[in-house]
Homo-oligomer: A and B are copies of this chain.
């Protein structure tokens, strides 16, 4: 494989000059520019990134560690972040933590070793372990979607309050008084925040809070199914359920199907996170939507700020209720304002 030495030799200039031309340094004559450019093309020279990074201490790479790319929410996030990073000249290392702290730590360690310029993370756990390491080392980091108490890094999150409040209000206005909640794990900030938002919203709509109506899942499909089953088997089951993420909503739906019941007719359902497929369901799903794409883009922006030594403000994006058909009985479906995808 050709090195910059070969290029310099072929162009009849020194290594320094070759390096300057390749780096776009203006302190070069048109003549050497032309010769080096020609040599680069002729030898099909590609600078060795390892050597560049070793010398310049920049790797032009970002680490993106999400819980699971198979979750459409994170897939969207990964896509948005990767594209935004690419536009800024960064390549993205993707890791899946599989909602497990040990895998997260393992991956963060790899990212430290690789000397990535910055890390984008949907954090899990309490900020000890590898998260403490990256903070201590001062590696530029931005948290996305979730935060960690006591860890002071910029974040991009969604304010679930408004959306969930709208959701409860909407259900209440449709006559629902027993509204179940399939919550995320309380070890995540989103799990805690959404549960609190739900509790608040109940109070604001003057609905009684019944602990029986809350199930604590883990943001994975299976726990959504388990939660729905538990709720529907109550002596007085809820007439409406809110699921705190898309995967648990999917699990809830499959559970309802297995019970030979129908969403919208037998039980209303609202999911947090909007994903394309929810519009295809019959009935299409009412959701609390958050702008994942924007989130990814903004997060990369913040991270680049941090890398640049600036101290950006955290960003909180709004959430919003999108009413579709899953929150009305079949008979009413026609009369509801719907918004497709």
Q: Which residues of A contact B (CB under 8 A)?
A: 1, 44, 46-51, 53-54, 59, 68-70, 72, 75-76, 78-79, 82-83, 91-96, 109-110, 112-115, 133, 137, 221, 250, 253-254, 257-258, 262, 276-277, 279-282, 284, 340-341
Contact of A59 among B50, B83, B253, B340 (CB under 8 A): B50
A109 touches B46 (CB 8 A): yes
State how many angstroms separate the Cβ of A105 from the closest Cβ of chain B.
13
Contact of A279 among B46, B94, B133, B254 (CB under 8 A): B254
Return 19 A-B CB contacts under 8 Å, by A number: A46-B109, A47-B113, A48-B115, A49-B113, A50-B50, A51-B54, A68-B79, A69-B75, A69-B78, A69-B82, A70-B75, A72-B72, A91-B93, A92-B93, A92-B95, A250-B277, A253-B280, A254-B280, A277-B277
Most buried by B among A69, A76, A78, A276: A69
Most buried by B among A50, A79, A83: A50
Most buried by B among A51, A75, A221: A75
- Determine the distance from Cα of A47 to Cα of B79 in the docked complex, in whole angstroms: 30
A1 touches B137 (CB 8 A): yes
Which B residues are CB-close (under 8 A) to A72?
A: 70, 72, 75
If the complex has contacts A70-B79, A96-B79, are A48 and B280 also in contact, measured as CB distance less than 8 A?
Answer: no
- Determine the distance from Cα of A117 to Cα of B341 in the docked complex, in whole angstroms: 41
Contact of A276 among B95, B110, B221 (CB under 8 A): B221
- Determine the distance from Cα of A76 to Cα of B68 in the docked complex, in whole angstroms: 10
Which B residues are CB-close (under 8 A) to A341?
A: 254
Which B residues are CB-close (under 8 A) to A69?
A: 69, 75, 78-79, 82
- Determine the distance from Cα of A45 to Cα of B95 in the docked complex, in whole angstroms: 22
Q: A250-B276, A250-B277 are in contact. List 20 more A-B contacts (CB 8 A).
A: A1-B137, A48-B113, A49-B113, A50-B50, A50-B53, A50-B59, A50-B115, A51-B54, A69-B75, A69-B79, A69-B82, A92-B94, A93-B94, A94-B94, A250-B280, A254-B280, A257-B282, A262-B282, A280-B281, A281-B281
B112 touches A95 (CB 8 A): no
State how many angstroms separate the Cβ of A285 from the closest Cβ of chain B.
10
State how many angstroms separate the Cβ of A276 from the closest Cβ of chain B.
7
B44 touches A54 (CB 8 A): no
- Determine the distance from Cα of A112 to Cα of B72 in the docked complex, in whole angstroms: 30
Q: Which 3 A-B pairs have the closest CB atoms?
A: A94-B94, A50-B54, A282-B282
